[in-house]
């Protein structure tokens, strides 16, 4: 789980949460010999909270491109990628797959309780 600053509907900057799957780690060297440990990740398609409890996080994965094409999807949704500094990773989370939909997952954090309203800070992938 990581955060990124987004503009809300009132054009105020807010920190929104996102969940992604890390593909690889790498180092980036700056001209002043500063080293950054970065991660290249695929950002999950949709971030939201449960209707019955705004502290329960849900995410929806994107279908693979070949599955979208085979299903005859009207609009093909490409994966979205991001590069983040490891320090920007706010929490290591796990995903628990829904029994009703293979693309829906609950987000859980080891030794962490989401005890606040996470709805207003759920990131929208179009803002990345």
Report the length, in residues, of the chain. 128
DSSP code at position 44 = P
DSSP class per residue in 45-67:
SEEEE-SS-TTSEEEEPPPPHHH
Where helices occur in the chain by DSSP H, the ranges are: 65-70
With beta carbons less than 8 A apart as the criterion, state whether 42 and 54 touch.
Answer: no
Q: Which pTM was predicted?
A: 0.76
Tokens of 107: 């987000």
Token pair belonging to 63: 């279908």
pLDDT score, position 40: 93
Mean pLDDT of the chain: 82
Residues of the chain with pLDDT under 50: none
The pLDDT value recorded for residue 122 is 76
Furthest C-alpha separation in the chain? 52
**Segment 66-79, tens digit of pLDDT:** 888 888 878 878 88
- 118 contacts 15 by C-beta, under 8 angstroms: no
List, for residues 78-100, the tens digit of each pLDDT value: 888 989 888 888 788 888 999 99
């Amino acid at each position: 789980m990581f955060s990124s600053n987004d503009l809300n509907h009132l054009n105020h900057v807010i920190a929104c949460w996102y969940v992604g799957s890390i593909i690889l780690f790498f180092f980036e060297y700056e001209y002043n010999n500063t080293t950054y440990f970065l991660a290249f990740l695929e950002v999950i398609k949709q971030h939201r909270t449960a209707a019955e409890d705004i502290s329960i996080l849900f995410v929806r994965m994107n279908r693979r491109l070949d599955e979208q094409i085979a299903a005859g999807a009207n609009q093909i949704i490409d994966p979205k990628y991001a590069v983040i500094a490891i320090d920007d990773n706010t929490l290591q989370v796990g995903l628990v797959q829904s029994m009703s939909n293979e693309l829906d997952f609950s987000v859980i954090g080891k030794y962490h309780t989401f005890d606040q309203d996470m709805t207003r800070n759920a990131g929208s992938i179009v803002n990345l």
